[in-house]
Structure 1
Amino acid sequence: MFDGLPLAWFQPFIDTATGRIAGVEALGRLRQDDGQVQSVGPLFTDPRTLPAALRRLDRQIRGNALSRLHEAPPEWFLSLNMSPRWISRLRDNQPLPSLSQLQRHGVAPQRIVFEITELGGDSRRLTEVVQRYRDAGARIAIDDFGAGYSQLDRVLALQPDILKLDMRLFQAAARGGPSSEVVKALAQMAEKTGCWIIAEGVETEAELNFALECGSRYVQGYLFARAEPDFFPTDAFVSRFAALRERYVQGKLQERARLMQLRQQLIKLMALLHPWAQAGAPLSELPKLDAYPWLLRFYQCDRHGTQLTPNMEWRQHAWHADTSYVGHNWSWRPYFYHLLAEGWDERRLILSNTYRDATSNQYCLTAGQFFDNGQRLLLIDVDAVRF
């Protein structure tokens, strides 16, 4: 037996398109006789807690949440956590307890998101049960996406409707660094597979901005609300979210303005370097480039992407020629496709997206422009952080 009355508290999901509450997640609490409330989370991670007692507690909390869903607006969804370990214990064709609970409480499955937690459980049985949930009309989410490699296998097997980014990974990624690129890649994968992204653990404006950068459909976290025993009004956070979103958009506009300024400077730099490159002049005759402190290197390729010249690199307060990459072919890189598709006829400058250079471990942009009647290509690598 557990000390306290099992209850469901509710933490809202904010729709990033409207700022309105789109649904809530049911989170377990135990209310003591003195009115104090404790989370049941530690009980579910304590190996000493008997599984049968946990299943009973979970169903009580879920039943409490379902019994109160009629108090919420009819367009809201309710997210319920489901353990794969418990699903694995079900017999073939056994009625699903969760669907039976929905029927008893008169809740349409279309309002329910079953959130698959943890990495355990029998994969075959889990896939079968998830399909039965989906056939009934419920949606499927995978929690803590990105927390383990096997999650990728689970995504392919279950084909979820929603992916919840792992909170610790998400918060680390919002601070920048390599994990940022990992989470963006996960978000792009989700988009390509038709999944909506939920960013949970959004506690700061910077984390909200990163969630929007990742294309999150919903956000959840203390920046807006903790779990509460009662439902918030649907429009409770609309004004605040709109102000935060506007600041994010203004920041992106400023980034775009800086990028446009960089493009103009690169056009001038290209015009400065083209005569030098066209003449095949030595480094000693290189034009003065002090006005471009973010310039990392430049080199030439033929129209097929094969590098013709050394990398001209700025090191130790001087320009040096690195011959390591002469003869390498870069035609497979995305910026080269763009150059061929967009820059060939008009000979205009093409600028790549920001990427991390594998050799220098720096964030870079690459600009390219054809010259010499389209027979050669001048490529410039720029330090994206300094600009």
Structure 2
Amino acid sequence: MFNGQPLPYFQPLIDTATGRIAGYEALARLRDEDGNVTSAGPLFTDPEVDPADLRELDRCIRRMALERFRDTPDGFISLNISPSWVSQLKPGEPLPSLQLLEEIGLPADQVVFEITELQGSIEQLRDVVQRYRQAGIRIAIDDFGAGYSMLDRVLALEPDILKLDIQLFRKAASGNGNSGDFVRALALMAEKSGCWIIAEGVETEQELHFALECGARYVQGYLFGRPDENFLPAEAVQQQFSELRDHYVYEKLAEREKLANLRKSLASLFADLRVWLSKGAQPAHLPSPKDYPWLLRCFLCDAHGTQISPNYEWKGDTWQTDPRYLDHNWSWRPYFYQILAEAGEDSRVILSNRYRDATTNQYCLTSGLFIDDSRHLLLVDIDTSFL
């Protein structure tokens, strides 16, 4: 068995729409004779521990958590469910968790079951999940984004909530590599499938901002509360969250202002380029890039996206031409859909969303302006690191 008294701890989940505590995740803890409390989590991944003892520990803490939560007026409680244990159930066998809810008298709609791990039969797990959902329980997938097999779970189980993998989330929130774009794509997939996102491990304001950018419905982490034996008032962190959310909005407004300034600079650049084109388009006469440090290259396409000029790129202290992309058609590139849709508006500077350029591996924006009664499209590529 285990050394210590089993007990549940509870960590709050904050509703990003209200700033109030919407629910709690129940976590397994052990208290020793000296009153020290440690996580029981490592026991569940220790191959030396008897699975029967683990199952007994889990059910003990689950019961204690549900009994404690039963007396709360509203909100929900989230508990982990191991697929490996579910797979040991016989088809049609009563589900212990549902029996426990009925015995305790806690409404099923106040309960979320988090599916952990990747073990067990998906078919059997799907059958059990359907029975949970029929009872009114919501289903969450934990560690979403941790591996391809997790996508199998999402497609098979059609969960209500996706909980982002904590390591992936933190790496993405730090801005390292392209993990941020990957997590944003996962969040978009969740939104399209009707799932709510939980971002856990939120410890800094930067991580909260990234969670909000990903559209997280709930956030969980030390920034708002550590796991504890007791519950907090629903409004305990509402003021703190409101202030942090305002900071996020102000930062987004500042980003919009930067884009507005970029558009003004682009309008000036395009005006210079149109004059340059009208005077014969000699590379030596291109405008100096000193006022446009973010400029990567410029080039000309026809109205259908086929490149009709070389690339003009600033190399050190002179403009150089690169003819390799003549006659290439770029209409299939994602950023071109937006630009080509604006044909007929010669005076409007169009700016794409950010993307990673496959040739240079740089994050870029592409800006375009139709000229000559929309017969030609003048384009510039922008290095976002200068923004």
TM-score band by shorter chain is: over 0.9
Matches of 1:73 and 1:268, distance apart in 2: 60
Report the equivalent of 1:103.
Answer: 102
Report the equivalent of 2:267.
Answer: 267
Matches of 1:117 and 1:242, distance apart in 2: 32
- Local SS of the residue matching 2:63: helix
Q: CA RMSD in A?
A: 1.2
Matches of 2:277 and 2:73, distance apart in 1: 67
TM-score normalised by structure 2 residue count: 0.97
Matches of 2:320 and 2:146, distance apart in 1: 43
Alignment of 1:270-285 (within 5 A): 270-285=270-285
Label 1:357 to 1:48 Cα distance change in 2 as closer, same or farther (>3 A).
Answer: same
Task: Assess if the C-alpha contact under 8 Å between 1:24 and 1:77 holds in 2.
Answer: yes
Report the equivalent of 2:367.
Answer: 367
Q: Which range is displaced more, 206-215 or 324-333? A: 324-333
Report the equivalent of 2:38.
Answer: 38
Report the equivalent of 2:29.
Answer: 29
- Quote how far apart the aligned CAs of 1:281 are: 1.9
- Asked if 1:114 is matched to 2:113, the reply is yes
- Quote how far apart the aligned CAs of 1:274 are: 1.3
Label 1:349 to 1:52 Cα distance change in 2 as closer, same or farther (>3 A).
Answer: same
- Asked if 1:325 is matched to 2:325, the reply is yes
Matches of 1:345 and 1:357, distance apart in 2: 26
Alignment of 1:115-264 (within 5 A): 115-176=114-175, 177-264=177-264
- Quote how far apart the aligned CAs of 1:346 are: 5.0
- Local SS of the residue matching 1:143: strand
Task: Assess if the C-alpha contact under 8 Å between 1:141 and 1:163 holds in 2.
Answer: yes
TM-score normalised by structure 1 residue count: 0.97
Matches of 1:283 and 1:96, distance apart in 2: 75
Task: Assess if the C-alpha contact under 8 Å between 2:343 and 2:374 holds in 1.
Answer: no
- Local SS of the residue matching 1:121: coil
Task: Assess if the C-alpha contact under 8 Å between 2:346 and 2:374 holds in 1.
Answer: no
Task: Assess if the C-alpha contact under 8 Å between 1:167 and 1:201 holds in 2.
Answer: yes
Matches of 1:162 and 1:344, distance apart in 2: 44
- Asked if 1:383 is matched to 2:383, the reply is yes
Task: Assess if the C-alpha contact under 8 Å between 1:294 and 1:383 holds in 2.
Answer: yes
Q: Which range is displaced more, 283-292 or 213-222? A: 283-292
Report the equivalent of 1:54.
Answer: 54
Q: Which range is displaced more, 29-38 or 50-59? A: 29-38
Matches of 1:42 and 1:290, distance apart in 2: 57
- Local SS of the residue matching 1:342: coil
Report the equivalent of 1:13.
Answer: 13
- Quote how far apart the aligned CAs of 1:279 are: 4.7
Matches of 1:145 and 1:340, distance apart in 2: 36
- Local SS of the residue matching 1:93: coil
Unpaired runs of 5+ residues, structure 2, are none
Alignment of 1:338-357 (within 5 A): 338-345=338-345, 347-357=347-357
Matches of 2:277 and 2:58, distance apart in 1: 71
- Local SS of the residue matching 2:385: coil
Task: Assess if the C-alpha contact under 8 Å between 1:370 and 1:378 holds in 2.
Answer: yes
Percentage of pairs with the same residue: 60
Report the equivalent of 1:80.
Answer: 79
Matches of 1:368 and 1:278, distance apart in 2: 18
Unpaired runs of 5+ residues, structure 1, are none
Structure 1 residues 297-325: Cα deviation after superposition (integer angstroms, max 9, x where no partner)? 11111101111111111223322111121
Task: Assess if the C-alpha contact under 8 Å between 2:10 and 2:27 holds in 1.
Answer: yes
Task: Assess if the C-alpha contact under 8 Å between 1:190 and 1:197 holds in 2.
Answer: yes
Letter in 1 for 2:300: Q
Report the equivalent of 2:302.
Answer: 302
Structure 1 residues 44-66: Cα deviation after superposition (integer angstroms, max 9, x where no partner)? 11111111111111011100011
Label 1:230 to 1:33 Cα distance change in 2 as closer, same or farther (>3 A).
Answer: same
- Quote how far apart the aligned CAs of 1:343 are: 4.4
Label 1:169 to 1:232 Cα distance change in 2 as closer, same or farther (>3 A).
Answer: same
Letter in 2 for 1:112: V
Matches of 2:314 and 2:119, distance apart in 1: 52
- Local SS of the residue matching 1:290: helix
- Quote how far apart the aligned CAs of 1:340 are: 3.0
Label 1:50 to 1:317 Cα distance change in 2 as closer, same or farther (>3 A).
Answer: farther
- Local SS of the residue matching 1:47: coil
- Local SS of the residue matching 2:254: helix
